[in-house]
Structure 1
Amino acid sequence: MAAPPGSRRRRPPWAWLVPSLLLLAAMTAWGAVRYPDLPDRLPRHIGPGGVDAWTDKTVLSAFVPVYLYAGVTLLLAACAAWAARSTPLDEMPEPADPWARAAAVSHNRPATAASARRTAKSLLLFNAGLGVALLPLCGLQWRTTQTADVPAWPLPVTVLLLLLSAAPLGVAWRRDAAEKKAA
């Protein structure tokens, strides 16, 4: 089936997924190296007073951060592919109904192909930031001593890293909003 006139097949920016895949490989290697030395019981939940729930040491329980990050990576890679391949507003045919155009602009359709690509890149950067934010939690999960004590620094560091990882999404959103306003 031929593509409609004026449109072209866009490829997602897969090179921007490389940092996430390297982080995933590093997390997996770190966990595999630490696994033999882990205690028989691992943290299952960390509350305000430290570890308040434990679970038996299994591959499944030890690698929860890795599985979580792998799932999020798949989800955000799919979202990035969808964003990169979406038809931007400037390539859509002009609708006969002016209300239909206003509805398209008010929704999350990118203004231009460049905006669609920028959104895809920002999603992949966000994912890499999430991976970095999980590293302090991996350190807690993979401690070689079974202790309920948790230092105070991992939570604020993780929250700060999560907030910083969202910055590329905010930049992409603001630039797209400016492009929509200029159109």
Structure 2
Amino acid sequence: MSDADRPDFPWRWLLPSLALLLCLTVWGIGIYPRLPERVPQHIGPDGIDAWTEKSVGAVFVPVFVHAGNVALTAAVAAATLRMRPADEIPPGQRASALVNRPSTRASAARTARATLQLALCIGLSLAVTCAVMWRTEPDPHVPAWLFAAVLAPVALGVVLVLAAAVRDRRERRK
């Protein structure tokens, strides 16, 4: 497959994750001076069960995680688009069994978009976590809805990726 035949990188699907990253960064910078000297380090099933001294590293962990997540998923999406789809491998040429290739270029584009949507969903989960971690009052109580609010966006993102994979499998069988 030539470079001209490859689908373009789906930048408009990456932009929401980048916008969320920017919003989390601005929010964190704005709230940082007002945070107490001890901030949550770990949130367990019974609430906040570990605290740490306020520092840029401790406060911005969710932002750093989201930045790494965005970079990794963008790289995976780009690699998916660069991969030769199964329908373009010449007859008789063996393809590595270690690579789960998309069936077609259209499938590669769908998979790349779904991967970028998963990045956004993970970022939304991290934003919910920030809402608890970045409270200006040192309160160990964690709202009952937190667990569901953190998991729901990730579950949605996983469903989107699985839907793209199932559609790819169906196309492959045809």
Q: Same fold (TM over 0.5)?
A: yes
Give RMSD over aligned pairs. Answer: 2.0
CA distance in 2 between counterparts of 1:176 and 1:62 reads 40
1:128 is aligned with what amino acid?
Answer: L
The answer as to 2:160 corresponding to 1:168 is yes
Contact (CA 8 Å) 2:40, 2:48: kept in 1 or not? Answer: yes
Q: Which runs of 5+ in 1 are unaligned?
A: none
The 1-side partners of 2:53 and 2:144 are apart by 25
Shift of 1:143: 0.4
TM-score by length of 1: 0.88
> Do residues 70 (structure 1) and 62 (structure 2) align?
no
Partner Cα distance (2:59, 2:74) in 1: 25
The answer to whether the 8 Å contact 1:89/1:109 transfers is: yes
**Paired residue secondary structure (2:50):** strand
On the 8 A contact 2:24/2:63 being kept in 1, the answer is: yes
Residue 157 of structure 1 is matched in structure 2 by 149
Partner of 2:134: 142
Return 5+ residue gaps in structure 2 as ranges: none
The corresponding residue for 1:118 is: 110
Instruction: Name the structure 1 match of 2:101.
Output: 109
Give the match for residue 49 of structure 1: 46
Contact 2:6–2:81 at 8 Å: present in 1 too? no
Is the 2:38–2:138 contact (alpha carbons within 8 Å) kept by the matching residues of 1? yes
Does structure 1 residue 131 correspond to structure 2 residue 128? Answer: no
CA contact (8 A) 1:45 1:53 kept: yes
Greater Cα radius of gyration, structure 1 or 2:
1
Q: Partners of 1:18 and 1:9 in 2: how far apart?
A: 20
Amino acid at match of 1:159: L
Question: What CA distance in whole angstroms lies between the structure 1 residues aligned with 2:118 and 2:168?
Answer: 17
Aligned to 1:94: 91
d(CA) in 2 for partners of 1:177 and 1:7? 26
The worse-fitting range, judged by mean Cα deviation, of 33-42 and 106-115 is 106-115
Give aligned pairs, total: 174
CA–CA separation in structure 1 for the residues paired with 2:156 and 2:5 = 34
1:7 CA drift (Å): 7.6
Alignment match of 2:9 (pick from 4, 7, 12): 12
78-87 or 127-136: bigger deviation: 127-136
In structure 2, what residue type is equivalent to 1:57? K
Task: Give yes or no for contact 1:80–1:119 (8 Å, CA) kept in 2.
Answer: yes
